[in-house]
Amino acid sequence: MQHFVITGGAGFIGSNLIRALLKQQPSCTITCIDNLDSFYAIEIKKNNLAEFANETRFRFLQFDIANNAAENLLELIPEKVDVIIHLAAKAGVRPSIANPLIYQKNNIIGTQNLLDFAKLKNCTQFIFASSSSVYGNNTNFPWNENEKLLPISPYAMTKLSGEMLGHIFHKLYGIRFIALRFFTAYGPGQRPDLAIHKFLKNILNNEPIPIFGNGTTSRDYTYIDDIISALLAAIVYTKTNFEIINIGNNYSIALKDLVAEIEKTIGKKAVLHYMPEQPGEVFKTMADITKAMQLLNYQPQMQLHDGLNLFYEWLLKNKEILNP
């Protein structure tokens, strides 16, 4: 019976991973750690966890890993831990520019404390949620994992720091550390501050969509089921002891084209409100997923128009909790 510790489990990616693990591994147990940060509505996170309330294999700990040493967590989790999946982070590029210190504390100190916990528990499999933002404005597309990294936001810097902390713990203590650089995850459960979620709600509410710049910035959007497939593969990966792996869709779509796809999805035109470009935002992201295909047998399945339809269905079904 494997025991998984998942931080940030009340969030978008975390709750989807918990659901997948409980379904895939009938004999596993899961400890979910989340501080229920108020970056977006706590009710959404509680709703994410509600379906696990009667699951005997699931335990929830409201706990702040950034403000507690590893020994404190040790008291709450006396059992053996087989795999740690560290998804928790203070999110958001733009807010990190306004308050970089809180991002350093949450994302760097929090990761340090969790790695200390892994060391104390003799847990040798550690999966870390990194970010495509670490590449900065590199114009050598698609980005592969060996690119020069020049982050342009405090948030991105904290993710790169997490990768380097993992390398240190791999070298010093033999912890297998797998960092997955996620490229713009979307799908049912997506955070309300992210573009696809925000744009659909604004159009439905007859509110203008904020477009920063001229609409030509582009992103590699990755559907949540493809993200989860990569996480499940990383959990059982044992061939090497330190890896950094892109998890994307190997396809970048411009903001104005994304809006057009959303308009098709809901059958309604958007009102666009153009605003100045935002500092800290990269112009384009696009993942080279060769390494993920080779090491994790990763094959993204979801096309954008299908993913948008599934997200729209979820949005309509959860209107009350989301306050559209």
**pTM of the model as a whole:** 0.96
For domain 3-322, give the CATH number: 3.40.50.720
Percent of the chain with pLDDT over 90: 88
The per-residue pLDDT for 129 is 98
264: pLDDT strictly greater than 70: yes
Across the chain, mean pLDDT equals: 95
24-37 pLDDT tens trace? 999 999 999 999 98
Tokens of 297: 């047998």
324: pLDDT strictly greater than 60: no
Domain ranges across the chain:
3-322
Residues with catalytic annotation? 155
69: pLDDT strictly greater than 80: yes
94: pLDDT strictly greater than 70: yes
The per-residue pLDDT for 185 is 97
In terms of DSSP bridges, do strands 176-182 and 242-247 run parallel, antiparallel, or are they unpaired?
Answer: parallel
4-21 pLDDT tens trace? 999 999 999 999 999 999
Instruction: Look at residues 43, 49, 128, 38 and name the one whose alpha carbon lies nearest to residue 91.
Output: 38
